[in-house]
Amino acid sequence: MPARRIIPCLDVMGKRTVKGIRFENLSDVGDPVALAMRYAQDGADELVLLDISATIEERSTFAAVVEDVAAAIAIPFTVGGGIRSERDMEHMLRCGADKVAVNTAAVADPSLIDRCAAAFGSQCVVLAVDVRREGHVWQVMTHSGKRTTGLDALEWASVAEGRGAGEILCTSIDRDGTKDGFDTDVIAAVAHTVRLPLIASGGAGRVEHFVDPLVSGADAVLAAGMFHRGECTVDTLKNYLRTCSIEVR
C-alpha cells in the first residue's frame, strides 16, 4: 500500500470554518483560507473543503472560497457540497480544486458518477459517504446527515466503484466530533468491499486514534477539530505514526 495521507478537513458555512458534534451544534473555528495555509505549512498531504450548507440551501458551492484557497496553497484539495451536475464539477475544477466530492446528488442520480468520471476522469471524482450505524448495517445519510436514504453503505460504495468513482470519503456521523476514535468497523468493511482509495473520517481525538483505521485498510485519515483547536499538528501526527511503523508521506 502507498504511503498514507493526512488530510485536514474544513467544513465551511457562510465563508467561515465551523465544527460540531455529529453534524450539529456548529461553532466558528476560523477563516478557511488562513487555516488552509496553516495546514499546508504544517505538512498536510491534502485538504478537504466542504460547503456543508449548500445542498440544504439549494445553492451553488462557495466558488470564491475555493478560488482563494487555490491561490494560497500548493497542495491538492478536494471540494464538496452542493455538487449537482458535471457543470458544477467543472466549475470547481476551474476554480482550482483538484478533486470534487459528490454525495446527495449522486444518491438521487447515480449516473452523475458515470458522467463526471467520463468528463473529467475517475481521479477527480470522490464519493462522500456519510453513514450512521443501525444495528449491523451502516445507513447512507444525505443532506448533511439529516435524511435517511435506505441505502446500505457497503452496497452503495460498490455501486459507486462500478460507476467510476476514484476515491471514497467515509464519514461516521456517530463518531463525528466525539473524540472517541474512528469507527474502524465500517472502515474495515468498506476497505474489504471496494478497491478504491479510502479516506477514514469522524471521531479523531488523539494521535493514537489514527492507527486503527490505517491498519484496518484506510489509505488516508481525515480530521478537523483536533487540528483546528491546536491539540495536534500534522507534523506531530506523522511523527507518531512513524513510531508505529506506519509509512506516511
Which are the catalytic amino acids?
11, 130
Q: How far is CA 35 from the centre of its chain?
A: 16
Give the H or E element holding residue 108.
helix 104-108
CA gap 198, 32 in Å, rounded: 24
d(CA 29, CA 17): 6
The three cell numbers locating residue 220: 488516508
For the record, the C-alpha cell of 175 comes out as: 463518531
Who contacts 126 (Cβ-Cβ below 8 Å, separation ≥6)? 78, 80, 99, 100, 101, 102, 165, 166, 167, 168, 169
DSSP letters for 129-189: EEEEEETTEEEEEETTTTEEEEEEHHHHHHHHHHHT--EEEEEETTTTTT-S---HHHHHH
CB 50, CB 101: distance < 8 Å: yes
In Å, what is the CA distance from 180 to each residue of 45, 135, 166, 203? 24, 19, 29, 5
